[in-house]
Amino acid sequence: MGWADVPWLLLVGLAAVEAGAALGVVIALRRRRAPPLADAECPRATVIVALRGADPFLQDCLQAAMRQDYPDYQVLAIVDRADDPSWPTLNKIAAEAPPGRLRADVLRSPGATCSLKCSSLVQAIGQLDEACELVALLDADCVTHATWLRELAAPFADA
């Protein structure tokens, strides 16, 4: 081993230190996780999904959203256009969902100064039920696990 190996050894050493620090952060965050909420503690929630096009994960996304271990929530989907290719999947999932769980609407007034997604979010916020206490945003390419919404709501329980 000569002087030419020193930069590589330093690089490996720094990488090991960084990996250790990252592991420490992950462990600390896992320890600070809020305890799971009991059903009575769960605030009324709405999950907003802005849709455009038939994302390859859309069906999985919506099915996972329908299977949340959460007592009182609905999913509100705002679709860019009436002829958007996401409608068949959305209608199929809505037909299989519990009544009132999935609500869908077409984007009525795209904003001149913001994106279609932002316009969809603005419309969805305007359509929130007065009883809604928690809003979660979900992208069509995200497939959530069953306790996602409950874990998301936990830090807000004391608020």
Q: What is the pLDDT of residue 7?
A: 67
Mean pLDDT of 19-28: 65
Q: Is the domain of 14 the same as that of 47?
A: no
Residue 63: exposure state from Cβ atoms within 10 A (0-12, 13-18, ≥19): middle
**What DSSP character marks residue 57?**
T
Q: How many domains does the chain have?
A: 2
- Whether 82 contacts 51, CB under 8 Å: no
Counting DSSP H helices and E strands in the chain, the numbers are 5, 4
Share of the chain above pLDDT 70, in %: 79
What CATH number does residue 96 fall under? 3.90.550.10
Q: Is the domain of 5 the same as that of 45?
A: no
Q: What is the pLDDT of residue 108?
A: 95
72-128 pLDDT, tens digit per residue, is: 999 999 999 999 999 999 999 999 999 999 999 999 999 899 999 999 999 999 999
Alpha-carbon separation of residue 4 from 9, 85, 116, 150 (angstroms)? 10, 58, 55, 54
Dist CA 33 CA 105 (whole Å) = 35
Q: What pTM did the predictor assign? A: 0.78
CB proximity list for 83: less than 8 A, separation 6 or greater: none
Where do the H-state alpha helices sit in 56-157?
58-66, 87-96, 116-126, 148-153
Where do the H-state alpha helices sit in the chain?
6-31, 58-66, 87-96, 116-126, 148-153
Q: Is the domain of 64 the same as that of 106?
A: yes
Mean pLDDT of 26-46: 79
> Residue 159 above 60 pLDDT?
no
Residue 156's pLDDT band (cuts 50, 70, 90): confident
Q: Is the domain of 23 the same as that of 48?
A: no
Q: Is the domain of 15 the same as that of 54?
A: no
Q: Is the domain of 48 the same as that of 7?
A: no
Q: Is the domain of 140 the same as that of 64?
A: yes
> Residue 29 above 60 pLDDT?
no
Q: Is the domain of 10 the same as that of 65?
A: no
Q: Is the domain of 72 the same as that of 99?
A: yes
Q: Is the domain of 28 the same as that of 45?
A: no
Dist CA 12 CA 7 (whole Å) = 9
- Domain, as residue range, for 72: 39-156
> Residue 45 above 70 pLDDT?
yes
Q: Is the domain of 58 the same as that of 21?
A: no
Residue 142's pLDDT band (cuts 50, 70, 90): very high
Q: Is the domain of 10 the same as that of 26?
A: yes
